[in-house]
Amino acid sequence: MAVRTTADPGPARRCAVLGAPISHSLSPVIHRAAYRHLGLDWTYTAHEVGEDELPGFLSGLDHRWRGLSLTMPLKKVALEVATEISPQAQQLEVANTLVRLPDDGWRASNTDLPGFLDALAERQLSDQAPDVVCIWGAGATATTALAASVELGAGRIHLHARSPERAQRVAAVTRQWPGAPAVDIRPWQIGDECLTARLTVNTAPAGALDGLAAQLSARGGPERVLFEVLYDPWPTPIAHHWDASGGVVLGGLDLLVHQAAGQVVAMTGRPAPIDVLRAAAEQGLAARAMP
């Protein structure tokens, strides 16, 4: 009987997104659109996998599997199952991508950080270093926002969190960046600089910032940028108020498609246009809203 190796792909390659919960994920429609555009006969599915289940899931994958997108709660445990870790994922201490290596191991990498920066660059919002970056939340996405703020050359970074302990852990990660400014951990309330910060990033769960949205958005203008990492339902209260005040708004869909673009390259070796990925994501959201 013939024995297949990783050099013998056999049927179509397989990729997937893993997490818990996972039914809400738009990753399948985005990656499938990329495969259609690239003419690849690949499949991309979604699987509910918890932290303790990830090692067993990986061990059950055959030679056809090429890559995995990871969402919560798998972004840290991915580093434990990987046989190779990219410098960026090592520095951030989180990974959102696993790609199969020739020896059947897995390489963990992070496309969230470049995706965050690319989303800003697409709107020509990354050329000028922000004086103050105001970040709300203290989870994995807050870590990405902190690292991006350092990359942008922020003068000061405020991290607003309901848990000081979690905030300290997030802030500690960015101290590895050469020349990074000190992270000022703030309570869950608005300070004077929050009303004038050039870049505000909301990474908190849905509803957590709603009570402060109107006040935080009061001083608008085209020089003030909000990056709201949520995208469903849209607009969120803070995105609505920010837009009404004349500020610039980026949404979670911008981050989603740009980080997915990085994953497509990592898994297939070929780029897909951002407009193709965004159109697929928007269609997926529209279909979800239909009765």
pLDDT confidence bin for 288, thresholds 50/70/90: confident
Q: Give the pLDDT confidence of 48-99 residue by residue, as tens digits.
A: 999 999 999 999 999 999 999 999 999 999 999 999 999 999 999 999 999 9
pLDDT given at position 4: 31
pLDDT of 227 strictly over 60: yes
Other residues' Cβ atoms within 10 Å of the Cβ of residue 168 = 14
95-149 pLDDT per residue, tens: 999 999 999 999 999 999 999 999 999 999 988 899 999 999 999 899 999 999 9
Which residues, in sequence order, are bridge partners of residue 158? Answer: 134, 184
Q: Give the C-alpha separation, 6 to 15, whole Å.
A: 15
Burial class (CB in 10 A: 0-12, 13-18, 19+), 120: buried
Per-residue pLDDT at 10: 46
- What's the whole-model pTM score? 0.92
pLDDT, residue 77, reads 96
pLDDT > 90? residue 26: yes
CA 23 to chain centre: 17
Report pLDDT for 5: 30
- pLDDT per position as a tens digit, 166-177: 999 999 887 777
Q: Which residues pair with 272 in a beta bridge?
A: none
Whether the pLDDT of residue 185 is over 80: the answer is yes
Q: What is the pLDDT of residue 168?
A: 93
Q: How far apart are CA 193 and CA 158, in angstroms?
A: 9
CA distance 109 to 75: 10
Report pLDDT for 291: 66
Q: Please report the pLDDT score of residue 9 as a whole number.
A: 42
Q: Is the pLDDT of residue 11 over 90?
A: no
Q: How far is CA 87 from each of CA 94, 95, 178, rounded to the nearest angstrom?
A: 11, 11, 14
**Mean pLDDT, rounded, of the chain:** 92
Starting at the edge strand found earlier in the chain, the sheet holding 97-100 runs 43-48, 14-19, 65-70, 97-100, 106-109, 84-85
